[in-house]
Chain A
Amino acid sequence: MRYLPLNKDDRTQMLSVIGVESIDDLFETVPKAARLEGLIDLPTHKSEQSVEQFFQRLSNKSTSAGSVPFFCGAGAYKHHIPASVDHLIQRSEFLTAYTPYQPEISQGTLQTLFEFQTQVALLTGMEVANASMYDGSTACAEAVVMAHRVARGKKSKAILAPGLHPHYAAATQTLASTLSIKIDERECRMGRDDNVINHIDDDTACVVVQSPNVFGEIVDLRPIAEKAHAHKALLIAVFTEPVALAAITPPGEQGADIVVGEGQGLGVGLAFGGPHVGLFACTKKLVRQMPGRVCGETVDANGERGFVLTLSTREQHIRREKATSNICTNSGLCCLAFTIHMSLLGDAGIQKLATLNHEYACDLADVLDAIEGVKVENDTFFNEFTVRLSKPAADVVQALADMGILGGVPLSRLTPEGDPNLLLVCATETSSAEDIAAFGSALKEILS
């Protein structure tokens, strides 16, 4: 077996050093009834070549985004990732290191985390950020739990805006369901996010608003923040497309107390939904209630600047049942990919990337809006928007797929109660004019 260095002689010698006769002796603390005789009923070992072939065949059974005209968004975005990103994250020293618990030999990971935290803080317009969460949806759920910690049990309500991604709302509801957090009823509807203002009262711990929301509409957070703060509630701003934050007023400048979102759009591929990388930022005032790992600056015994994981008194391995969260993993390698992509882009690069995304989406909107049976529903958008079709969106998307086009996400896929004729579409810098034209003519054909 190519991954196992010990040979038969080694094993014999080692058993004799241990002072036992056979390997079975090392398993004698296992109750007899639970000891397995023989091999488990699964195939035996395979060569590298045959494992690779098996997966190659399965890979060929899926349609990859890069192989067809592609317009899906709704929480996961196709962007071009520079080759150096993937090369760097495969360096052994990054790939095969553990959590940086020994800072003297982990400065590579730690300094990267410090850079990541700074980039996230700048992009969101917030004071501080943590070292990442599993993904955007779990970051959102943890933010709601954090808001209730901040309220010290004196407020029970969390309000989720109608434009919050249904998966984010569901993940939040799951985590909140076992705690004494009441989730205000919501219905995934377009154009109603401002209504959350009417639900904010003194019992409200937090209000969660996504912008651009799941329909692509950009939401003015300022009035919501104002009302929330008047009732001592926190505004949790959510985003699913990090590139959008380079184009729109960041939530931090609109009064958000906590900003959470998905970072996948920068440096991390689609990967059928994971691994992605959750971004989590907040005001300095709230930092000790923040979940997840945090990296901080310090000095070593020689007085040289270095970095360590810090504020660990919030975390489970120290606080156990009193921890801010049970989380002990971040999304290390994905947050490294995010950091490298951001470093390559720089201020000028990311703003240009955002402008291109917006322009291509505007082009797409023009093409689709001109088709009979298609109506663009948005007043504003960044790189994704919602269209109303004259036929059920799920059927249309399937028909498009049969023609070799991945033409967006039906709202009904995200939430069974969603309006069946609404389709969420997205264009990025990877959407060529030819692809947009192909999408338009296919849609025209299907709807005629």
Chain B
Amino acid sequence: MNNQGRPTSPVAANMNERATVSGSKGLDQAEKLIFEVGTPQRTGVDLPEPKGRPSRLGNHARQGEIGLPGLSEPETLRHYVRLSQKNYAIDLGVYPLGSCTMKHNPRLNEKIARMPGFADVHPLQPISTAQGALEVMSVLSHWLMTLCNMPAVALTPKAGAHGELCGMMAIRARLDHDGASHKRRVLVPESAHGTNPATAVQCGFSVDEIPANAGGRVDMVALRAKLEGAGKGSDIAGIMLTNPNTCGLFESDILEIADLIHDAGGYFYCDGANFNALVGRVRPGDLGVDAMHINLHKTFSTPHGGGGPGSGPTVLSDALKDHAPVPYVVKTEDGGFDLVENPDEKSFGRMCAFHGNMGMYTRSLAYMMSHGSDGLKQATEDAVLNANYVQASLSDVMTTAFEGTCMHEALFDDRFLKDTGVETLDFAKAMIDEGYHPMTMYFPLVVHGAMLIEPTESESKGELDRFILSMRSLAERAKSGDVESFKQAPIYAPMRRLDETLAARKPVLRWTPPVDVAEAAE
């Protein structure tokens, strides 16, 4: 082996992993757990000395230490900055996770969310002292209802899946109110997000899967067979449909689907995860939708924060709006705002403490107002344009799952990797070495080895061209028979591939103090 010159192959590149004494690799600093670096008596917070007055805890006082390590402020800062540098992020590069809408998170939104009249207001202080916060909720509601052409919105759901729960609970409440408690079957396409069937079951419904047709859309023959002539007396409660669907395609039969479900006495739940393809161009209310959650953390740019917090306001049709959860904001006669906190007979109740995720309301409203009706429409068009540009630029070296143009995300399958020995997972890990976060992989389930790419409107053409170049070169490298480099990937990430099987088989879910050797020997 030639160890003299510049590394020329991935195997030689492994030389980068020569052990250092510190364990760090240049800017990539090795960092232990706080429990391994802190000590109980150290602290990064100065507090006044307690007076030592008699306690009123009764006989409930905690005995002994908690076992938490203490760190000074500089140690804490350094620890978490070092950890942060082991994360990929939108601010760092293309993050084309399909169905996740990883768009730019404007910093103005962060500034606004931290204004004291929103960030430092208690949820239960008198209504008269929280008028500004309530007005934000009211204005946000107006924007969401107008964009969707729907007459009501429940703001409180705390995430997309919580919004699904809200919509399906409203459907159930309406059915029960109409004495139709026998209607408990919900149709869910097999391409649906996993949350859809999980939500339906959590709401006490049974799930009936609808297959996809060869074009990646709902198989209308199968759907008609289930619904035609079913009538209002049937057990059909509704359908949960994502539109555009998880294959990145608009369900072009959607108006017929809505009619069929309504004729069967059911309701149409639309999963709004992909609303970024529609804002300002298509309104869910015009599609016959009865309920749809909106992921403020996808479509309306609130940060994903490494997995939350999200927010899933749910728009509701005339048929469902009386069953909305509490609390909600109403306008008062004097031009102020009030909060309805106690459910009436029709409302299905309360989904969480307080009023939902205010911090996401301010951010998303700031985003919407910044764009305005013209900018929101442009953003939608750019998102769809970017996805189609990626699809068109890769379709000769990768295999698109379905013919024709897509909406805001491009779906590829793994046929182009056939007989190469490279799998979707390997391809994704190789993207990491190119400096990109991998696309969504192995989802939707209806496509073999799926690769779902959603570039969003936040990418420039130059950035997309570089991305396309990398993807093309990876596809060509895979076809050239270089399996090994894919199996090794990633090599330029802070860590090599992790053993997920081991993690699941022998779960270690927390740090525990090392066992003293002498003690263990006893």
Contacts and interface: CB of A to CB of B under 8 A. Distances in A.
Contact of A272 (B31, B133, B305): B133
Interface stretch (A68-76, A193-201, A226-234): A68-76
Nearest to B490: A104
B117 A117 contact: no
Interface string A146-183: 00000000000000000001011011011101110000
Contact of A352 (B47, B65, B499): B47
Contact of A65 (B76, B121, B132): B121
Given A29-B249, A43-B372, A316 B195 contact: yes
Interface in A305-359: 306-308, 310-313, 315-323, 325-334, 336, 340, 342-353, 355-356, 358-359
Contact of B83 (A111, A342, A352): A111
A20 B198 CA distance: 39
A112 B80 contact: yes
A63 B129 contact: yes
Contacts of A51: 108, 112, 366, 369-370
A140 B117 CA distance: 29
Interface in B241-289: 249-250, 252, 254-255, 280-283, 286-287
A446 interface: no
Contacts of A299: 498-499, 502
Interface stretch (B153-161, B220-228, B415-423): B153-161
A362 interface: yes
Contact of B461 (A13, A28, A42, A269): A13
Contacts of B182: none
16 contacts: A18-B392, A20-B405, A55-B136, A67-B116, A96-B304, A104-B494, A114-B33, A118-B35, A134-B308, A167-B350, A218-B57, A246-B62, A270-B122, A296-B504, A321-B207, A349-B43
A272 B254 contact: no
Q: Which 7 A-B pairs have the closest CB atoms?
A: A346-B70, A273-B354, A59-B117, A333-B305, A273-B123, A61-B132, A275-B309
A46 B371 CA distance: 7
A295 B500 CA distance: 11
Interface in A382-412: 382, 397-398, 401, 406, 409
Interface in A234-276: 245-250, 262, 269-275
B458 interface: yes
A327 B198 CA distance: 9
Contacts of B386: 6, 14
Contact of A92 (B92, B249, B254): B92
Max chain A C-beta neighbours (<10 A), residue from B31, B85, B121, B351: B121
Contacts of B239: none
A45 B461 contact: no
Contacts of B143: 42
Interface string A267-304: 00111111101000000000100000111111111101
Contacts of B108: 48, 51-52
A138 B122 contact: no
A103 interface: yes
Nearest to B283: A36
B124 A76 contact: yes
A23 B385 contact: yes
A345 B43 contact: yes
Nearest to A297: B508
B498 A298 contact: yes
Given A352-B50, A353-B47, A88 B80 contact: yes
A115 interface: yes
A60 interface: yes
A332 B392 contact: no
Interface in B113-172: 113-126, 128-133, 135-136, 143, 146-147, 158-162, 164-165, 169, 172
B307 A329 contact: yes
Interface stretch (A120-128, A184-192, A202-210, A437-445): A120-128
Interface in B455-489: 457-461, 463
Given A111-B83, A343-B76, A349-B44, A39 B204 contact: no
Interface string A1-16: 1111110001101110
A59 B357 CA distance: 16
Contacts of A138: 158, 162, 351-352
Interface residues of A, number: 206
A122 to B, nearest CB: 5
B511 to A, nearest CB: 5
Contacts of A54: 369
B17 A302 contact: yes
Contacts of B132: 57-62
A143 interface: no
Given A165-B353, A332-B309, A123 B66 contact: yes
Max chain A C-beta neighbours (<10 A), residue from B61, B159, B381: B159
Contacts of B42: 346, 348
B438 interface: yes
A121 B60 contact: no
B496 interface: yes
A117 B500 contact: no
Contact of A347 (B48, B67, B375, B498): B67
A42 B373 contact: yes
B389 interface: yes
A15 B385 CA distance: 7
Given A65-B121, A99-B306, A14 B496 contact: no
B392 A272 contact: no
Nearest to B457: A4
B458 A3 contact: yes
Interface stretch (B1-9, B94-102, B313-321): B94-102
A46 B370 contact: yes
A6 B87 contact: no
A416 to B, nearest CB: 5
Max chain B C-beta neighbours (<10 A), residue from A60, A96, A115, A312: A96
Interface string B430-443: 00100001100001
B189 interface: no
A103 B498 contact: yes
Max chain A C-beta neighbours (<10 A), residue from B60, B113, B310: B60
B211 interface: no
Given A45-B374, A98-B100, A138-B162, A355 B50 contact: yes
A55 B135 CA distance: 10
A446 B61 CA distance: 36
A97 B89 contact: yes
Nearest to A290: B509
Contact of A325 (B198, B203, B461): B198
A318 B115 CA distance: 40
Contacts of B51: 359
B353 A167 contact: yes
Contacts of B58: 218, 379-380
Contacts of A103: 495, 498, 500
Given A99-B304, A105-B437, A272-B130, A220 B249 contact: no
